[in-house]
Structure 1
Protein backbone atom coordinates (compact mmCIF):
# COMPACT_ATOMS: atom_id res chain seq x y z
CA UNK A 1 0.00 0.00 0.00
CA UNK A 2 1.97 2.96 -1.26
CA UNK A 3 0.46 6.40 -0.94
CA UNK A 4 1.55 8.92 -3.55
CA UNK A 5 1.04 12.67 -3.76
CA UNK A 6 -0.09 13.51 -7.26
CA UNK A 7 -1.42 16.60 -8.99
CA UNK A 8 -4.80 16.37 -10.65
CA UNK A 9 -3.07 16.20 -14.04
CA UNK A 10 -0.84 13.33 -12.93
CA UNK A 11 -3.76 11.49 -11.30
CA UNK A 12 -5.76 11.91 -14.49
CA UNK A 13 -2.89 10.57 -16.58
CA UNK A 14 -2.53 7.47 -14.37
CA UNK A 15 -6.27 6.73 -14.43
CA UNK A 16 -6.62 7.78 -18.10
CA UNK A 17 -9.17 10.48 -17.35
CA UNK A 18 -9.23 14.28 -17.67
CA UNK A 19 -7.91 16.67 -15.03
CA UNK A 20 -11.48 17.73 -14.17
CA UNK A 21 -12.58 14.11 -13.78
CA UNK A 22 -9.58 13.43 -11.52
CA UNK A 23 -10.46 16.45 -9.37
CA UNK A 24 -14.08 15.32 -9.15
CA UNK A 25 -13.00 11.78 -8.20
CA UNK A 26 -10.72 13.14 -5.47
CA UNK A 27 -13.59 15.14 -4.03
CA UNK A 28 -15.99 12.21 -4.26
CA UNK A 29 -13.56 9.85 -2.49
CA UNK A 30 -12.61 12.59 0.01
CA UNK A 31 -8.93 12.14 -0.63
CA UNK A 32 -6.62 14.32 1.49
CA UNK A 33 -5.31 17.37 -0.37
CA UNK A 34 -2.42 19.72 0.13
CA UNK A 35 -0.52 22.37 -1.82
CA UNK A 36 2.91 21.99 -3.39
CA UNK A 37 5.64 24.64 -3.30
CA UNK A 38 4.61 25.91 -6.73
CA UNK A 39 0.94 26.34 -5.61
CA UNK A 40 -0.54 23.28 -7.32
CA UNK A 41 -2.92 21.00 -5.45
CA UNK A 42 -1.57 17.60 -4.48
CA UNK A 43 -3.77 14.64 -3.70
CA UNK A 44 -2.59 11.80 -1.46
CA UNK A 45 -3.84 8.64 -3.09
CA UNK A 46 -3.27 4.88 -2.93
CA UNK A 47 -3.68 3.85 -6.56
CA UNK A 48 -3.98 0.17 -5.62
CA UNK A 49 -6.95 0.92 -3.34
CA UNK A 50 -8.82 2.86 -5.99
CA UNK A 51 -10.88 0.63 -8.17
CA UNK A 52 -11.83 3.10 -10.84
CA UNK A 53 -12.74 2.18 -14.39
CA UNK A 54 -13.60 5.13 -16.60
CA UNK A 55 -16.70 5.02 -18.73
CA UNK A 56 -16.19 4.81 -22.45
CA UNK A 57 -16.11 8.37 -23.78
CA UNK A 58 -19.09 9.59 -25.74
CA UNK A 59 -21.03 6.30 -25.85
CA UNK A 60 -23.56 7.38 -23.29
CA UNK A 61 -23.88 10.87 -24.74
CA UNK A 62 -24.43 9.62 -28.29
CA UNK A 63 -27.21 7.35 -27.07
CA UNK A 64 -28.76 10.22 -25.11
CA UNK A 65 -28.46 12.56 -28.07
CA UNK A 66 -30.24 10.12 -30.36
CA UNK A 67 -32.89 9.44 -27.73
CA UNK A 68 -33.40 13.14 -27.08
CA UNK A 69 -33.56 13.92 -30.80
CA UNK A 70 -36.27 11.28 -31.24
CA UNK A 71 -38.14 12.69 -28.26
CA UNK A 72 -37.89 16.22 -29.68
CA UNK A 73 -39.30 15.06 -33.02
CA UNK A 74 -42.17 13.29 -31.24
CA UNK A 75 -42.91 16.45 -29.25
CA UNK A 76 -42.81 18.59 -32.41
CA UNK A 77 -45.34 16.23 -34.03
CA UNK A 78 -47.53 16.42 -30.92
CA UNK A 79 -47.35 20.23 -30.97
CA UNK A 80 -48.35 20.32 -34.64
CA UNK A 81 -51.27 17.97 -33.95
CA UNK A 82 -52.43 20.07 -31.00
CA UNK A 83 -52.14 23.31 -32.99
CA UNK A 84 -54.31 21.83 -35.75
CA UNK A 85 -56.84 20.69 -33.19
CA UNK A 86 -56.84 24.13 -31.56
CA UNK A 87 -57.48 25.72 -34.97
CA UNK A 88 -60.46 23.40 -35.49
CA UNK A 89 -61.83 24.29 -32.06
CA UNK A 90 -61.32 27.98 -32.80
CA UNK A 91 -63.30 27.65 -36.06
CA UNK A 92 -66.11 25.86 -34.19
CA UNK A 93 -66.07 28.57 -31.55
CA UNK A 94 -66.32 31.34 -34.16
CA UNK A 95 -69.19 29.56 -35.93
CA UNK A 96 -71.11 29.11 -32.68
CA UNK A 97 -70.44 32.69 -31.68
CA UNK A 98 -71.92 33.98 -34.94
CA UNK A 99 -74.90 31.68 -34.48
CA UNK A 100 -75.42 32.94 -30.92
CA UNK A 101 -75.24 36.54 -32.13
CA UNK A 102 -77.89 35.86 -34.81
CA UNK A 103 -80.14 34.15 -32.26
CA UNK A 104 -79.73 37.07 -29.86
CA UNK A 105 -80.81 39.52 -32.56
CA UNK A 106 -83.80 37.32 -33.43
CA UNK A 107 -84.75 37.06 -29.77
CA UNK A 108 -84.56 40.83 -29.32
CA UNK A 109 -86.75 41.32 -32.40
CA UNK A 110 -89.25 38.76 -31.12
CA UNK A 111 -89.30 40.45 -27.72
CA UNK A 112 -89.95 43.85 -29.32
CA UNK A 113 -92.75 42.39 -31.46
CA UNK A 114 -94.26 40.68 -28.40
CA UNK A 115 -94.21 43.92 -26.41
CA UNK A 116 -95.83 45.79 -29.32
CA UNK A 117 -98.49 43.07 -29.62
CA UNK A 118 -99.18 43.27 -25.87
CA UNK A 119 -99.55 47.03 -26.09
CA UNK A 120 -101.89 46.70 -29.06
CA UNK A 121 -103.89 44.03 -27.23
CA UNK A 122 -104.23 46.25 -24.18
CA UNK A 123 -105.31 49.19 -26.32
CA UNK A 124 -107.84 47.06 -28.21
CA UNK A 125 -109.19 45.60 -24.97
CA UNK A 126 -109.64 49.16 -23.73
CA UNK A 127 -111.53 50.03 -26.90
CA UNK A 128 -113.77 46.95 -26.57
CA UNK A 129 -114.43 47.75 -22.92
CA UNK A 130 -115.35 51.32 -23.85
CA UNK A 131 -117.70 50.07 -26.58
CA UNK A 132 -119.39 47.68 -24.20
CA UNK A 133 -119.75 50.33 -21.55
CA UNK A 134 -121.11 52.81 -24.13
CA UNK A 135 -123.62 50.28 -25.43
CA UNK A 136 -125.00 49.55 -21.98
CA UNK A 137 -125.18 53.14 -20.79
CA UNK A 138 -127.72 54.37 -23.25
CA UNK A 139 -129.20 53.64 -26.66
CA UNK A 140 -129.43 57.18 -27.96
CA UNK A 141 -128.88 57.94 -31.61
CA UNK A 142 -125.82 60.07 -30.93
CA UNK A 143 -124.33 57.41 -28.74
CA UNK A 144 -125.11 54.79 -31.38
CA UNK A 145 -123.32 56.85 -34.06
CA UNK A 146 -120.17 57.09 -31.94
CA UNK A 147 -120.33 53.41 -31.19
CA UNK A 148 -120.41 52.59 -34.89
CA UNK A 149 -117.51 54.96 -35.50
CA UNK A 150 -115.54 53.31 -32.71
CA UNK A 151 -116.30 49.86 -34.11
CA UNK A 152 -115.05 50.95 -37.54
CA UNK A 153 -111.88 52.38 -35.95
CA UNK A 154 -111.40 49.16 -33.95
CA UNK A 155 -111.80 47.03 -37.09
CA UNK A 156 -109.22 49.18 -38.89
CA UNK A 157 -106.74 48.76 -36.02
CA UNK A 158 -107.25 44.98 -36.02
CA UNK A 159 -106.73 44.76 -39.78
CA UNK A 160 -103.56 46.90 -39.52
CA UNK A 161 -102.17 44.76 -36.69
CA UNK A 162 -102.93 41.61 -38.69
CA UNK A 163 -101.11 42.98 -41.73
CA UNK A 164 -98.05 43.84 -39.59
CA UNK A 165 -98.04 40.34 -38.08
CA UNK A 166 -98.23 38.66 -41.51
CA UNK A 167 -95.93 41.07 -43.38
Structure 2
Protein backbone atom coordinates (compact mmCIF):
# COMPACT_ATOMS: atom_id res chain seq x y z
CA UNK A 1 0.00 0.00 0.00
CA UNK A 2 1.07 3.48 -0.62
CA UNK A 3 1.58 6.14 1.98
CA UNK A 4 -1.61 7.89 0.86
CA UNK A 5 -3.65 4.73 1.45
CA UNK A 6 -2.19 4.36 4.95
CA UNK A 7 -3.02 7.97 5.78
CA UNK A 8 -6.59 7.58 4.48
CA UNK A 9 -7.21 4.37 6.41
CA UNK A 10 -5.73 5.90 9.58
CA UNK A 11 -7.94 8.98 9.13
CA UNK A 12 -11.01 6.80 8.64
CA UNK A 13 -10.15 4.83 11.78
CA UNK A 14 -9.71 8.05 13.81
CA UNK A 15 -13.04 9.39 12.54
CA UNK A 16 -14.79 6.17 13.48
CA UNK A 17 -13.27 6.23 16.97
CA UNK A 18 -14.19 9.89 17.50
CA UNK A 19 -17.79 9.22 16.44
CA UNK A 20 -17.97 6.35 18.90
CA UNK A 21 -16.47 8.40 21.72
CA UNK A 22 -18.39 11.61 21.23
CA UNK A 23 -21.84 10.42 20.18
CA UNK A 24 -23.40 10.04 23.63
CA UNK A 25 -26.93 10.19 22.29
CA UNK A 26 -26.44 6.96 20.41
CA UNK A 27 -26.02 5.22 23.76
CA UNK A 28 -29.22 6.64 25.27
CA UNK A 29 -32.11 4.27 25.67
CA UNK A 30 -35.25 5.16 23.77
CA UNK A 31 -38.44 4.48 25.66
CA UNK A 32 -41.47 3.33 23.75
CA UNK A 33 -44.92 3.18 25.22
CA UNK A 34 -47.88 1.41 23.64
CA UNK A 35 -51.29 2.99 24.12
CA UNK A 36 -54.79 1.68 23.53
CA UNK A 37 -55.92 4.89 21.85
CA UNK A 38 -54.76 8.34 20.78
CA UNK A 39 -56.42 10.02 23.77
CA UNK A 40 -54.29 8.04 26.23
CA UNK A 41 -51.16 8.90 24.27
CA UNK A 42 -52.05 12.60 24.24
CA UNK A 43 -52.82 12.55 27.98
CA UNK A 44 -49.46 10.89 28.66
CA UNK A 45 -47.54 13.44 26.58
CA UNK A 46 -49.40 16.36 28.18
CA UNK A 47 -48.63 15.04 31.67
CA UNK A 48 -44.95 14.47 30.97
CA UNK A 49 -44.70 18.10 29.80
CA UNK A 50 -46.37 19.60 32.92
CA UNK A 51 -44.66 17.45 35.55
CA UNK A 52 -41.23 18.64 36.71
CA UNK A 53 -38.38 16.27 37.48
CA UNK A 54 -37.66 16.63 41.23
CA UNK A 55 -34.00 15.82 40.66
CA UNK A 56 -33.30 18.05 37.64
CA UNK A 57 -35.57 20.88 38.82
CA UNK A 58 -35.61 22.78 35.53
CA UNK A 59 -36.68 19.99 33.22
CA UNK A 60 -39.96 18.24 32.80
CA UNK A 61 -40.03 14.46 33.08
CA UNK A 62 -40.32 14.20 29.31
CA UNK A 63 -36.97 15.89 28.70
CA UNK A 64 -35.00 14.59 31.67
CA UNK A 65 -32.66 11.61 31.47
CA UNK A 66 -32.51 11.16 35.24
CA UNK A 67 -33.44 7.78 36.65
CA UNK A 68 -36.14 9.40 38.80
CA UNK A 69 -37.68 11.00 35.71
CA UNK A 70 -37.76 7.61 34.02
CA UNK A 71 -39.56 6.18 37.06
CA UNK A 72 -42.04 9.07 36.95
CA UNK A 73 -42.67 8.50 33.23
CA UNK A 74 -43.25 4.80 33.92
CA UNK A 75 -45.67 5.58 36.77
CA UNK A 76 -47.45 8.18 34.63
CA UNK A 77 -47.82 5.60 31.86
CA UNK A 78 -49.13 3.05 34.35
CA UNK A 79 -51.71 5.48 35.75
CA UNK A 80 -52.84 6.61 32.29
CA UNK A 81 -53.25 2.99 31.22
CA UNK A 82 -55.39 2.42 34.34
CA UNK A 83 -57.75 5.11 32.99
CA UNK A 84 -56.79 7.87 35.44
CA UNK A 85 -57.50 11.44 34.36
CA UNK A 86 -54.83 14.14 34.14
CA UNK A 87 -56.00 15.63 37.44
CA UNK A 88 -55.83 12.27 39.19
CA UNK A 89 -52.30 11.62 37.94
CA UNK A 90 -51.16 15.14 38.96
CA UNK A 91 -52.79 14.70 42.38
CA UNK A 92 -50.97 11.38 42.82
CA UNK A 93 -47.61 12.97 41.94
CA UNK A 94 -48.25 16.01 44.18
CA UNK A 95 -49.19 13.72 47.09
CA UNK A 96 -45.92 11.88 46.62
CA UNK A 97 -43.49 14.70 45.71
CA UNK A 98 -45.25 17.90 46.78
CA UNK A 99 -46.26 20.91 44.68
CA UNK A 100 -42.70 21.22 43.43
CA UNK A 101 -43.41 18.46 40.90
CA UNK A 102 -45.76 20.88 39.10
CA UNK A 103 -44.41 23.59 36.82
CA UNK A 104 -47.40 25.78 37.68
CA UNK A 105 -47.93 25.34 41.44
CA UNK A 106 -51.24 26.54 42.91
CA UNK A 107 -51.42 29.64 45.08
CA UNK A 108 -51.29 28.41 48.67
CA UNK A 109 -50.05 30.02 51.89
CA UNK A 110 -46.74 28.23 51.29
CA UNK A 111 -46.35 29.60 47.74
CA UNK A 112 -47.97 33.02 48.12
CA UNK A 113 -44.59 34.74 48.43
CA UNK A 114 -43.42 33.12 45.19
CA UNK A 115 -46.44 34.54 43.40
CA UNK A 116 -46.46 37.99 45.01
CA UNK A 117 -42.75 38.37 45.84
CA UNK A 118 -41.67 39.98 42.55
CA UNK A 119 -44.56 42.47 42.70
CA UNK A 120 -43.79 43.35 46.33
CA UNK A 121 -40.11 43.77 45.47
CA UNK A 122 -40.92 46.24 42.67
CA UNK A 123 -43.32 48.23 44.88
CA UNK A 124 -40.74 48.36 47.69
CA UNK A 125 -38.06 49.53 45.25
CA UNK A 126 -40.30 52.29 43.90
CA UNK A 127 -41.11 53.47 47.44
CA UNK A 128 -37.42 53.64 48.35
CA UNK A 129 -36.67 55.53 45.14
CA UNK A 130 -39.56 57.97 45.77
CA UNK A 131 -38.35 58.63 49.34
CA UNK A 132 -34.80 59.24 48.16
CA UNK A 133 -36.02 61.76 45.60
CA UNK A 134 -38.16 63.56 48.20
CA UNK A 135 -35.25 63.69 50.69
CA UNK A 136 -32.91 65.44 48.28
CA UNK A 137 -32.95 69.20 48.83
CA UNK A 138 -34.02 71.29 45.89
CA UNK A 139 -31.00 72.78 44.20
CA UNK A 140 -31.12 76.55 44.14
CA UNK A 141 -30.07 78.13 40.92
CA UNK A 142 -30.56 81.69 42.12
CA UNK A 143 -27.35 83.71 42.00
CA UNK A 144 -26.65 86.71 44.13
CA UNK A 145 -25.98 90.09 42.44
CA UNK A 146 -22.19 89.72 42.43
CA UNK A 147 -22.34 86.24 40.86
CA UNK A 148 -24.88 87.45 38.32
CA UNK A 149 -22.60 90.33 37.22
CA UNK A 150 -19.62 87.98 36.95
CA UNK A 151 -21.66 85.59 34.78
CA UNK A 152 -22.73 88.44 32.48
CA UNK A 153 -19.11 89.58 32.08
CA UNK A 154 -17.99 86.05 31.20
CA UNK A 155 -20.77 85.71 28.64
CA UNK A 156 -19.87 89.06 27.02
CA UNK A 157 -16.18 88.11 26.93
CA UNK A 158 -17.04 84.77 25.32
CA UNK A 159 -19.23 86.51 22.69
CA UNK A 160 -16.39 88.95 21.82
CA UNK A 161 -13.86 86.10 21.55
CA UNK A 162 -16.20 84.24 19.25
CA UNK A 163 -16.61 87.21 16.88
CA UNK A 164 -12.89 87.80 16.47
TM category (shorter chain) comes to 0.3 to 0.5
Higher-Rg structure is 1
Larger fraction in helix: 1
